[in-house]
Chain A
Amino acid sequence: MTILIAILSRLAKAALTLLAIAVLNFCLLHAAPGDPAVVLAGEAGAADEQMIAQLRERFGLDQPLYVQLGKYIAGIVQLDLGYSFRQSAPVIDLIAERLPATLLLTLTAFVISLTCGIALGVAAAARVGKVSDSLLTTLALLFYATPLYWLALMAVLVFSVWLGWLPGFGYETVGSDFSGFARAIDILKHLILPALTLGLFFMAVYMRMTRASMLEVSTADFVKTAKAKGLSGPVIRRRHILRNAILPVVTLAGLQAGQLVGGAVLTETVFAWPGIGRLMFESLAARDYNTILGVFLVSAAMVILFNIVTDIVYRIVDPRIGARA
Chain B
Amino acid sequence: MVERIQKIVNNVGLPRIIIGLFLLFLLASAPFVGVRIDTSLNDIILRLAMNGILVLSLVPMVKSGCGLNFGLQLGVISGLLGAVISLELNTTGFGGFFLAIGLAIIFATVFGFLYGILLNRVKGEEMVVATYVGFSSVAFMCIWWLILPFKSQDMIWAYGGAGLRTTISVENYWYDALNNFLSFKIGSHITIPTGGLLFFALLCFLVWVFFRTKIGSAMIAVGSNPEFARSCGVNVNRMRLVSVILSTIIAAIGIIMYQQSFGFIQLYMAPLYMAFPAVAALLLGGASVNKVSLKNVIIGVFLFQGILTMTPSIINNLIKSDMSEAIRIIISNGLIVYALTRSSGVRQS
Please say whether chains A and B are actual partners in one complex. no
